Amino acid sequence: MLALLAPGQGSQTPGMLTPWLELEGTRERLTAWSELAGLDLVELGTVADADAIKDTAVTQPLVVATSLLAYEVLAQRYELPDDLVVAGHSVGELAAAAVAGVLSSDDAVALAAVRGREMAAACDVVSTGMAAVMGGEPNDVVAWLADHDLTAANMNGAGQIVAAGPVDAIDKIVDEKPDFVKKIIKLKVAGAFHTDYMVPAQEKLREKAKDVQVSDPTRTLLSNADGRRVDSGAEMLERLVDQVTLSVRWDLCMNTMKDLGVHVTAELPPAGALTGLARRELTGATTAALKTPDNFAKVTEALA
């Protein structure tokens, strides 16, 4: 069984769209999405430097558009299995919802643009941040973070939890690393994503979502909220809005993949982070990071 994974913010790299734009029709597709996003996604994905694409308002629609562009190429070239499992991490859930048939690709990019823009604005209101906590028993780490007024914003599995909250609290846990964790790394992000600090952005996204038409998923679609399969398009849209302030439970998504018997994972571009987690957590599974069209062969070989 194949799981198609859509990455989130932080996975972007300069020039990540360049190999995809060499394919017929992709530049026109991206130009249309640029109009919806109010950004030049072609320039941002080809010649812009790392600083230009780390802005939350830019990164989120750019990452979603990159994933969906690659998916459309993949779907044109290969017949994907009927039992395909789809999951996205954070903003990657918008791309995953489109792959599963809940949203149109156009709506997914448009929603990502609103989400990114409004989350960036929310980050400017209060000084907040995030840090990756590596190692430690998850319940102990979560309780320790709560004692420091921090939230476990991402439960990524494979020994990785991302803390979010006030900058001074983030700095404190970095300085006072307890013995029961291996490492704490302060992340270069605009603010505390997936916490109540993002409520203003969530409300703006909710307003935008009112105009979006949805369909029930045609593929097995997993939710970041609890790792469970979602069978209703309306419910998935509601979860996509709620997800702005809820923790990302990627650990539970991977647990569900195990239960479903996933033995191959393919991460859409900009790929890498989710493939690394899958290698450590999904024992025995074949993984493929689809950074360029040439990487498609890894998926077909594994399924064969």
In the set 11, 194, 223, 247, the catalytic residue is: 194
User: In angstroms, how far is CA 147 from the centroid of its own chain?
Assistant: 28
Pairing of strands 151-157, 160-166: antiparallel
- Residue 109 and residue 106: Cα distance in Å, rounded? 5
Clarify whether 90 is annotated catalytic. yes
Tokens standing for residue 211: 């105009």
Clarify whether 148 is annotated catalytic. no
Pairing of strands 85-88, 220-221: parallel
Question: How many Cα atoms within 13 Å fall on the side-chain side of residue 209?
Answer: 23
Tokens standing for residue 204: 């703006």
Place of tokens 């069209």: 293
DSSP assigned state of 145:
H
- Residue 89 and residue 272: Cα distance in Å, rounded? 12
Q: What is the DSSP string of 100-167?
A: TTSS-HHHHHHHHHHHHHHHHHHHTTS-EEEEEEESS-HHHHHHHHHHTT-EEEEEEETTEEEEEEEH
CB atoms within 10 A of CB 232: 14
- Residue 224 and residue 262: Cα distance in Å, rounded? 17
First to last CA, the chain: 11
Yes or no: say if 282 and 18 are a contact pair by the CB < 8 Å rule: no
In the set 11, 34, 90, 247, the catalytic residue is: 90
Tokens standing for residue 64: 């979603």
Q: Which residues are annotated as catalytic?
A: 90, 194
